[in-house]
Amino acid sequence: MGIIEKNNYGLVGKNISYSFSESYFEEKFKKLGLEGYSYRNFDLSQIEEFTPLIQENKHIKGLNVTIPYKEAVIPYLDRLNKKAKKIGAVNTIKFTKKGLKGYNTDIYGFKKSIKPFLTKNHTKALILGTGGASKAVAFVFGELGIKFKFVSRRPKKNQLLYTDLNEKIMKEYTVLVNCTPLGTFPNIEEKPNIPYQWITDAHLLFDLIYNPEKSAFLREGENQGAAICNGLRMLELQAEKAWKIWNS
Ligand SMILES: NC(=O)c1ccc[n+]([C@@H]2O[C@H](COP(=O)([O-])OP(=O)(O)OC[C@H]3O[C@@H](n4cnc5c(N)ncnc54)[C@H](OP(=O)(O)O)[C@@H]3O)[C@@H](O)[C@H]2O)c1
């Protein structure tokens, strides 16, 4: 007879067959010798499918949440931890006796992965894109005392348009973070439309994308002499933090 799986985990999102998390956690369960543990993708075509999902899967202990439900899932939760509440995005859910509690571990992952690259000259940052991940990035810059501006195709108050990025701004803002999906496999030649010619060795370019390892955005930065970092470590760190939360 097979092992009865009593410790179920999974990822909620849309079109997530590419997911890193499933193989990452399955590998982890193997390494730790955990029997009766499983991690699977729950591909929802709309967030309303969330309630039947948890009613039908009684052994779920924890979930990760990805695009496009990091914000939409919040009304389905009983509680939020402080940081998730502040930024309004959840990527980790813990099933507790008191109900479902939402967390955001992108904050932890981004902070820990960018920190080793920051120097005292990195005092201002441009955040490219204004989606769910950009909120975690902005939160971390707030914690680190780094001033930031969002760059958007449709800027709101105090945000910049891509065409606003002139030489002066590019010299002043030496940390550039790509929080758009531009450059993700298979569209690997795409990149944010910024004036790369003004990037120097004083800059740090961080891309949340991890596939490909070196995006067109990072390649441009590297060619200009900038320090670069992709999103792989961030991804691993946020997964590790989720695992800790589920087991605390
Ligand atoms: N490494 C990690 O651990 C990690 C964690 C989270 C997310 N990510 C990655 O980070 C990226 C963003 O995630 P997200 O959840 O924030 O996605 P999202 O909510 O879809 O937001 C992406 C933002 O990018 C901008 N954008 C989208 N399409 C664009 C285009 N064609 N041209 C220019 N800008 C565009 C938009 O901002 P405007 O409308 O304001 O221009 C949009 O709000 C994804 O690639 C995701 O895989 C990585």
How many angstroms is it from 2 CA to the middle of ligand 1?
Answer: 41
| Secondary structure E strands in the chain | 7-13, 37-43, 60-65, 79-80, 92-96, 99-103, 124-128, 147-151, 175-178, 204-207, 227-229
* Domain-ending residue, one of 66, 88, 104: 104
The minimum-distance atom of ligand 1 relative to the CA of 110 is 3
Same domain, 26 and 129: no
Task: Specify whether 6 is catalytic.
Answer: no
Biggest alpha carbon distance in the chain?
68
Does ligand 1 lie within 6 Å of residue 132's CB atom?
A: yes
Same domain, 122 and 78: no
How many angstroms is it from 181 CA to the middle of ligand 1?
Answer: 5
Does ligand 1 lie within 6 Å of residue 134's CB atom?
A: yes
Q: 248 lies in a domain?
A: no
Higher local confidence (pLDDT), 6 or 50: 50
Q: 243 lies in a domain?
A: no
Per-residue pLDDT, averaged over 42-68, amounts to 96
- State the CATH number of the domain containing residue 12: 3.40.50.10860
For residue range 145-177, what is the model confidence (pLDDT) as tens digits?
999 999 999 999 999 999 999 999 999 999 999
Same domain, 112 and 100: no
Closest-CA residue to 131 (of 87, 163, 161): 87
Tokens of 222: 């590297």
pLDDT exceeds cutoff 70 at 3? no
- State the CATH number of the domain containing residue 130: 3.40.50.720
DSSP β-ladder status, 7-13 and 175-178: unpaired
Does ligand 1 lie within 6 Å of residue 105's CB atom?
A: no
pLDDT at 127: 98
Same domain, 97 and 115: no
Using a cut of 0.75, tell me whether the model's pTM lies above it: yes
For residue range 15-31, what is the model confidence (pLDDT) as tens digits?
998 889 999 999 999 99
Catalytic-role residue among 70, 101, 135, 191: 70
pLDDT at 1: 45
Same domain, 216 and 184: yes
The structural domain count of the chain equals 2
What DSSP line would sit under 169-204, residue for residue? HHHH--EEEE-S-TT-TT-TT------GGG--TT-E
Task: List the beta bridge partners of residue 124.
Answer: 147
Same domain, 215 and 157: yes
C-alpha count within 13 angstroms, C-beta hemisphere, residue 147: 9
3-class DSSP state of 82: helix
